[in-house]
Structure 1
């Protein structure tokens, strides 16, 4: 069973440095898209892969990008934002990726930014993720030094800024338009749609907001192709997924498993079943905002 997202994450050691990440193929996807693909080609590949948003809505990632105005007349700057405001009670999948392999997120964000020709990118991070903040800042700095961020990336005519923004701790910031208001220094309340962020988002400019896990899938799709990604799954939804289990189970934790795994297999085979003395009565499948 392939586990592309977590294969280089090890709880017993620090996350990979830039040099270590490059040794296992890191940033090859950035080189590939800059040298071999135009932005439209990247968008099509991601759409063909059937990658759906890993933040909860499950909307087609490539289709979401396709709504961003492209071409010489498109408004600039364009923005790209990683939603790392993981405030849903009992969820911790993004934290695993942020602390376990931050360069994977940054590479995925660069690929996505190239696909929509973004100029400025932000990691919008949950205030409580202090360790993740330190690691992301260090990794962004390393990426700038190596030429993966900044002016004329790897000698191309495309440039990208990246910044870390830590939120102040409102649950509502996880909703993408509330997140945009927070980034603008306003109260984090959701906006009425339309207009949609892809056309009028941060500061009224075209903006894409995707979840951390969504971005982390992108380097692997670029390197291995759409059919490979679809082949990882047990269902019509492509790829793997990080499933977290918390509560009265014997082995709480997070596992990268194929899309389409059953609840029973997750709870019994991976989480070890219920704690002694407890019977299974119900589960929240997607955090506190879903039904039992």
Structure 2
């Protein structure tokens, strides 16, 4: 495994513009795991984790390092390409401005939504409302070299807490730290500590007629942690570029009176769950 790997393409940048994928990479730095093991560690459904692992593998940020046969089943072990994954300094300057901004906006929007969801849940805790959250806003006066040294020292402090220790009261906390020269942007959040406890949200939909389902729609649902409950009367069309893993990770219930047009594996999967309660 490499010690440091630099992201040099827009495809790789897009791939990590998702907080769950960042968590996946973090958990695969020390040792290789199967998708099932990783899902257990993250407390998520294997189908959802499998989709993200496949996407990270496509852009070579994860790699398949070992296969084992166990009970007639082939187990695949994945590991991060490096212990530290950084964005190349020249990447943003080489991208179109809109592409660079959109990549960062997507990541920050997820951080915002995760924090607000956690904030709402913490307020419902009558014993200690807000006790699981932290939010820091600071104004510093530093040179560029001092800022780099400060960030290095913060990273060293984090190292002691980046691996599960399995101690009483331990919980996984999402933390995001970012800074900016204030004269360049007036409205921003210099620093935040964010607890990632966003719950899964089923989304029910009933439609009559022709229902087209495309890849972008399902990726948005996956990003927002939504499980789709679809009830369709008429024709349902799943776009040809939609992978099976994405359907498996997002469509939780499917009811159809009519006809389904989809790839064979997706067709079999959705039709098999048509009459499930």
Fold in common (TM above 0.5):
no
Max Rg structure: 2
> Quick one: higher RCO (CA 8 Å, sep 6+), 1 or 2?
1
Q: TM-score range by the shorter chain?
A: under 0.3
TM-score, scaled to structure 2: 0.23
TM-score w.r.t. structure 1 length? 0.22
- The structure with the greater share of residues assigned to strand is 2
